[in-house]
Chains A and B, each alone.
Chain A
């Protein structure tokens, strides 16, 4: 071969060979997955979490994740599932449906995942539930409240939407109705202005509030919509003010709610309380709205954690575990959701050596039948996947903090 040609071959060989080697070596390194010590033969089963771990609602999502983590740690310590170690697989959904869908896809393709606790936003759950259903992975949400997730497209004629979907939080139709009754009967407001953010949760809640409020004889003087992320509500509040509502009902989350409350009471000088759903009941609300928020109301699902004995244990354990962030309003519900899954594992896993489709199906079935006392109360699900505990609590802001004022159930 001529000199230059040989040079070429040498060059190419020097370079292509390592690449081919690398490709070939691919198979050998497969056992390197995961960072754990691979000495023992403990089998691993994972519980996933899909919640907002970045963005506006990080505080809530982190609380959910930590509570599930607590349940898992306790289960491992007590060796609740002999021969198996439970691990947490938390994924961020950034409160966005498409990010949540990617997270759900990732978890479904992880063979060791046997159940998922999540999501927080109803709009994200609408994407996640069908994906998890396809993989037969059970999903228990501690916070979704939108009716259609369990009752189907037309909640008036309920039809179970997803066989694998359950929730420990109760429905918007109940929450909105509960809030409306309180507004009519306790606050005795006759006129209300409704503002919502058009998302599945906010709009759904506002609609169920309106339905009940009008049934009680009240009048909705205005319905306005805003975009999440807006900061300046002076124009929309100026529009509502001359209609003289006695109450402003807000369907949406706490970032916007705190701004609306502050601007309504302050620059717009409306001496009118704001009422919202569980989306606004968060410590950040009072902190950012300041003293203007005193007198505002918010409903939340479940009884106040501080009032139940079962919850007190959870709170103490959570503190002892040393998490940096608070358990948020949904901690106890997420903790119960995680335990609902964990309790089914000993039977569902049985003598299996690895998690597979049949194990997942068994878990889905078994979760439907659980019945135990959890941190938030009795944990059991009805034929639609909704929790049988339909307790709701009305909170009122005093000294910039939400304090419970009434706990009860909604009677249609």
Chain B
């Protein structure tokens, strides 16, 4: 039983990362029906952005003062992610807005490959793992026999806070309402005077910011990052988004946590489970799409004629 709870804890932490990234996927798909393959790379690039700030711009004296270092790293990460996402939308996706599905999808794959390689080739010593500062102490505490790390608590709390903030934003602010309107019906939204292009950019920005935070947290948990962390996590996060219902914010969060927990439990209870870990995400995806294509909480996408 204790093992079960321990794996639940592990899974929740894992799921927090998936959820944050899934939000980005789900928002973009909800608005322009594009699977942004490169979103996983946005996550990776954000992590590298945070690392760059820490390594090259933060003065030595403040390197271990969490209250200064952590916000600085986060700001750096968000800046880089958002910048990349905006450029991506402008240069690669916007011209293909009206093209048949195949073109933007392949473009997204191309962008994903390009970003991975760009970091690998042009970041100093990019080919190797980069050690990432563990700004939150790596200590642990025990609760009823279950080991929990402080950094894990931090990750889950921050993730949940951001998810709630996003919900509030989308529900109450004007921009949020504009986003919802555009995802329901872009044509009518335009007729209502909503600047659809701006809304799309904002969607990308929000998704990128969340992914950047997830990237920094990944770095802190594992004390290292490298150029390949984006790919598989991206795929799984998209699975989580579909699991919860694409276009549905709460669904993405739920899907993320569920997926993380399934992975952890499968590792525990399936023999040699750890090497089969990645399969579960795909099995879950296929099962969901076959049994309940709308996802657990129902999808929110306009049907393109």
Q: Do chains A and B touch in the complex (CB under 8 A)?
A: yes
Chain B residue at minimal CB-CB distance from A223:
B272
B222 contacts the other chain (CB 8 A): yes
Which single member of A54, A236, A241 contacts B127 (CB below 8 Å)? A54
Mostly helix, strand, loop or mixed at chain B's interface? helix
Known: A239-B268, A284-B128, A288-B224. Contact between A267 and B274, CB under 8 A? no
Q: Inside 8 A of A258's CB, which chain B residues have their CB?
A: 129, 224
Q: Inside 8 A of A54's CB, which chain B residues have their CB?
A: 127
Chain B residue at minimal CB-CB distance from A255:
B129
A288, B131: Cβ atoms closer than 8 Å: yes
Which single member of B128, B130, B138 contacts A292 (CB below 8 Å)? B138
Known: A238-B10, A267-B149. Contact between A231 and B127, CB under 8 A? no
A231, B274: Cβ atoms closer than 8 Å: no
Q: Inside 8 A of A226's CB, which chain B residues have their CB?
A: 274-275
Which single member of B218, B229, B277 contacts A235 (CB below 8 Å)? B277
Q: Inside 8 A of B222's CB, which chain A residues have their CB?
A: 231-232, 259, 262-263
A295 contacts the other chain (CB 8 A): no
Chain B residue at minimal CB-CB distance from A267:
B149
B221 contacts the other chain (CB 8 A): yes
Q: Inside 8 A of B149's CB, which chain A residues have their CB?
A: 266-269
B140, A269: Cβ atoms closer than 8 Å: yes
Give A56-81 as 1s and 0s: 1 = Cβ < 8 Å from B's Cβ atoms. Answer: 10110000000000000000000000
A225, B151: Cβ atoms closer than 8 Å: no
A224 contacts the other chain (CB 8 A): yes
Known: A234-B13, A288-B131. Contact between A267 and B6, CB under 8 A? no
Within 8 A of B (CB), among A198-255: 198, 224-227, 229-236, 238-239, 241-242, 255
Q: Inside 8 A of B274's CB, which chain A residues have their CB?
A: 224-227, 230, 233, 235-236, 239
Chain A residue at minimal CB-CB distance from B6:
A238
B224, A267: Cβ atoms closer than 8 Å: no
B147 contacts the other chain (CB 8 A): yes
B263 contacts the other chain (CB 8 A): yes
Q: Inside 8 A of B273's CB, which chain A residues have their CB?
A: 235-236, 239
A55 contacts the other chain (CB 8 A): yes
B7, A235: Cβ atoms closer than 8 Å: yes
The docked-state distance in angstroms from the alpha carbon of A242 to that of B226 is: 31
The docked-state distance in angstroms from the alpha carbon of A238 to that of B267 is: 10
A224, B10: Cβ atoms closer than 8 Å: no
Give B292-303 as 1s and 0s: 1 = Cβ < 8 Å from A's Cβ atoms. Answer: 000000000000
A239, B228: Cβ atoms closer than 8 Å: no
B237 contacts the other chain (CB 8 A): no
A287 contacts the other chain (CB 8 A): yes
Q: Inside 8 A of B229's CB, which chain A residues have their CB?
A: 231
B10, A288: Cβ atoms closer than 8 Å: no
Q: Inside 8 A of A263's CB, which chain B residues have their CB?
A: 222
CB of A328, distance to nearest CB on chain B (Å): 12
Q: Inside 8 A of B275's CB, which chain A residues have their CB?
A: 198, 225-227
Within 8 A of A (CB), among B209-254: 218, 221-224, 226, 228-229, 232
The docked-state distance in angstroms from the alpha carbon of A234 to that of B149 is: 11
CB of B43, distance to nearest CB on chain A (Å): 12
The docked-state distance in angstroms from the alpha carbon of A288 to that of B129 is: 7
Q: Inside 8 A of A242's CB, which chain B residues have their CB?
A: 2-3
A234, B10: Cβ atoms closer than 8 Å: yes
Within 8 A of B (CB), among A258-311: 258-259, 262-263, 266-269, 284, 287-290, 292
The docked-state distance in angstroms from the alpha carbon of A134 to that of B267 is: 44
B264 contacts the other chain (CB 8 A): yes
Which single member of B140, B226, B278 contacts A267 (CB below 8 Å)? B140
Name B's A-contacting residues (CB within 8 A): 2-3, 6-7, 10-11, 13-14, 127-131, 134, 138, 140, 147, 149, 151-152, 218, 221-224, 226, 228-229, 232, 263-264, 267-268, 272-275, 277-278
Name A's B-contacting residues (CB within 8 A): 54-56, 58-59, 198, 224-227, 229-236, 238-239, 241-242, 255, 258-259, 262-263, 266-269, 284, 287-290, 292
